[in-house]
A = this chain, B = another copy of it.
Amino acid sequence: MRGRRRALTREEREKQILNEAIHVFARKGYAATSVNDIVESAGVSRGTFYHYFSCKEDIFLRIIDLYFENLTELLTKNSVRIKRAIFGGGAFLYAWLDYALEFFRFHRDNPQLTHIIYRQAMGQEASFSKRLSDYVLLSRHILASELRMLAERNLIIKCDYDVSAAFITGAALEIIVHYVSTDKDYDMERIAFELVRNQSRALATDLGEVDRILEKMERGLAIKPPTLQDMMAQVPRTGTQ
Chain A interface residues toward B at CB < 8 A: 29-32, 115-116, 119-125, 129, 133, 159-160, 163-164, 166-175, 178, 181, 190-191, 194-195, 197-199, 201-204, 207
Contact = CB atoms under 8 A, between A and B. Distances in A.
Nearest to A119: B123
Given A123-B119, A163-B194, A173 B175 contact: no
A170 B174 contact: yes
Contact of A125 (B32, B115, B167, B190): B32
A198 B122 CA distance: 27
Contacts of A167: 171, 174-175, 194-195, 198
Copies of this chain: 4
A170 B160 contact: no
Contacts of A164: 194, 198
Contacts of A133: 181
B175 A174 contact: no
Contact of A194 (B30, B124, B159, B194): B159
24 contacts: A29-B123, A29-B124, A32-B125, A116-B123, A119-B129, A120-B123, A122-B123, A159-B198, A160-B190, A160-B191, A160-B194, A164-B194, A164-B198, A166-B171, A166-B174, A167-B171, A167-B194, A168-B171, A170-B173, A170-B174, A174-B174, A198-B199, A198-B203, A207-B207
